[in-house]
Amino acid sequence: MDKLDPAKLYYIDASPFARLCRILIDEWQVPVHLVEVPFPLPDTFFEINPMGQVPVLETIGEMIFPTAQIVEQLWAMTIEAREPYLDPLADRQLLTVILGLGNFLVLGNQQARAGLEQTGENKLGFNPAERHQMRVQKCLDWIDTRAQTWLTGDEPNVCDYALACILLYSDARRPIEWRNRVKLAKIVDGLRERPSFTATAPAPL
Ligand SMILES: N[C@@H](CCC(=O)N[C@@H](CS)C(=O)NCC(=O)O)C(=O)O
């Protein structure tokens, strides 16, 4: 990449992880060029990210992944947004749980859409798809206990954006029960009409 080229974000339209990065790029006004890639990803994408996943942020000489690392890099590339916001990465455990719940949700969705079903005796002792669903619900309960108006402060920040991206992905692709948690519903509804969200809404299937 030429020194003058802006950083590039590789993304898939519906990916909630990539959507979070696209929203942060917009909200924090980070100069990043967006590159949409098709789904399913081609095998050649493993040369970019050995985990074969988006998002990936390409900066000068570096491919940055997964999402948590990209968020840190975007924040490091931001100057204007530092004030008056709180450090958006102040609560890394909360962000890790939110992104982890996103992983469980996406895996469960992919398993269901792939039409996978049990073909032999279950020697594992539990059903992985059901366990993913349970993890999602337990993580939501845990996050709910942390929520005030927003998750970490007086203003929405990375954790709120991440939660909203993941729950709106669920609504768009494979709805789960989450609106019964009133505080979480307020967070999502308080964000979904922001220009950065409406500009990145997943296309219908
Ligand atoms: N833990 C990863 C999750 C990324 C992820 O699940 N990306 C999905 C899209 S939502 C993907 O690229 N899937 C491509 C595939 O499964 O082949 C992160 O935090 O970046």
Task: Please tell me whether residues 99 and 130 are part of one structural domain.
Answer: yes
- Domain membership of residue 2 (yes or no) is no
Structure tokens that stand for 18 in this block = 């990539």
What is the value of pTM for the model shown? 0.94
Q: Tell how far the Cα of 107 is from the centroid of ligand 1, in angstroms.
A: 9
* Domain containing residue 74: CATH number: 3.40.30.10
> Which atom of ligand 1 is nearest to 53's Cα?
12
Query: Cα–chain-centroid distance for residue 40?
Result: 18
- Domain membership of residue 170 (yes or no) is yes
Task: Please tell me whether residues 58 and 102 are part of one structural domain.
Answer: no
Going residue by residue through the chain (205 aa), what tens digit of pLDDT does each one get? Answer: 445 678 999 999 999 999 999 999 999 999 999 999 999 999 999 999 999 999 999 998 899 999 999 999 998 888 765 654 556 666 889 999 999 999 999 999 998 899 988 889 999 999 999 999 999 999 999 999 999 999 988 889 899 999 999 999 999 999 999 999 999 999 999 999 999 999 999 998 8
Is 151 within 8 Å of 159 (Cβ atoms)?
yes
If one residue of 24, 39, 43, 53 were mutated to test the ligand 1 pocket, choosing by the most ligand atoms within 8 A of its CB, it would be 53
Query: Cα–chain-centroid distance for residue 31?
Result: 20
**Residues at CB less than 6 angstroms from ligand 1:** 12, 15-17, 40-41, 52-55, 65-67, 99, 103, 106
CB-based contacts of 3, cutoff 8 Å, min separation 6: 60
Rounded to an integer, what distance in angstroms lies between the CA atom of residue 34 and that of residue 119? 41
Secondary structure (3-state) at 24? helix
Q: Which residue has the tokens 């996943």?
A: 53
- Domain membership of residue 202 (yes or no) is no
Q: What is the DSSP letter of 148?
A: S
Task: Please tell me whether residues 105 and 176 are part of one structural domain.
Answer: yes
For 34, list phi and psi in degrees, rounded to 5: -95, 130
Number of H helices, E strands in the chain: 7, 4
- Per the structure, the complete domain to which residue 67 belongs is given by 7-82
* Domain containing residue 133: CATH number: 1.20.1050.10
Instruction: Give me the number of domains the chain comprises.
Output: 2
